[in-house]
Amino acid sequence: MAERVVEREGVRLSVQQAGEGVPVVLLHGLTATHRYVVMGSKALERSGHRVISYDARGHGRSTPAPDRGAYGYEQLGADLVAVLDALGIERAVLAGASMGAHTLLWLALRSPERAAGLVVITPGYDPAGNEDAERLARWDALADGFELGGVEGFLAAYGRPEVPEPWQGTVVKVIRQRLSEHEHPSAVADALRVVPRSRPFGELGELAGISLAAVVVASRDEADPGHPQVLGEAYAAAIPGARLIAEEPGQSPLAWQGSRLSKVIAGVAAQAESG
């Protein structure tokens, strides 16, 4: 895997590339890094895809924004465009989880010619509840916990995971792993305050303007209550022709299964290539 840096307005984005073929760009979620979309799976590059992933501004090895408030979707979307431009990619299949899903939709609505297909994984942006004070207070508490107390401070603010007992240990383990990979923890704390207040688009009805091959990957609420299944269903209903998929009841979320998720992404790439 080759690494390079893409610079935009004072931010140095750490970008990874592997494989050759149809370009696929992977976009991670808030507090994650580029590793946490297909969870380290190499299936895409082994099946004829040029896979690009990068750490969002302030995350992983990417540097913080010069302005502590510059973590909204306008900036995240412009970073995605900068990565495509720097790598000479006119169109790519875009696959993103949560914050990454919202970022790719930001681009698909504003510059649809840059997207060949979309894989929208566990969307969490609900236009109707974006300003909810209790919701925003929780994000602020997580930001304060991480900024003042590191990983343990974040976990203290997070509390006991609201998932079935067999998955609680996995959730805590993944949180620890994700948060330990950031070179600039205070920047992640800034993003925790800004991203939940940002809007990638106004209303779900705007997604009706998308005319691309698309799949929405939802998770069942018992495993991932932070990304409600009903919201994933609403996204799939709003995007014309989008296919909705989710794991079977009792299974771990499809979004946690990198090899299976890679097959979904490859399917969208094949659909985009054929037509």
Tens digit of pLDDT for each residue in 221-242? Answer: 888 999 999 999 999 999 999 9
Percent of all residues in the chain with a pLDDT value above 70, rounded to a whole number = 100
Q: Which pLDDT belongs to residue 164?
A: 87
pLDDT in tens, 124-151: 999 999 999 999 999 999 999 999 999 9
**Rounded to whole angstroms, what are the CA distances from 179 to 19, 65, 149, 167, 252?**
27, 18, 12, 18, 22
Query: pTM value?
Result: 0.97
Q: Judge whether residue 275 has pLDDT over 80.
A: no
Q: Which pLDDT belongs to residue 118?
A: 98
Q: What whole-number distance in Å separates Cα of residue 238 and Cα of residue 39? A: 28
Q: Judge whether residue 1 has pLDDT over 90.
A: no
Q: Which amino acid is at 235?
A: Y
Mean pLDDT of 254-273: 95
Q: Which pLDDT belongs to residue 252?
A: 86
Q: Which pLDDT belongs to residue 56?
A: 98
Q: Among residues 196, 249, 243, which one has the least CA distance to residue 221? A: 249
| Those residues with Cβ within 8 angstroms of residue 135's Cβ, 6 or more apart along the chain or in another chain | 129, 196
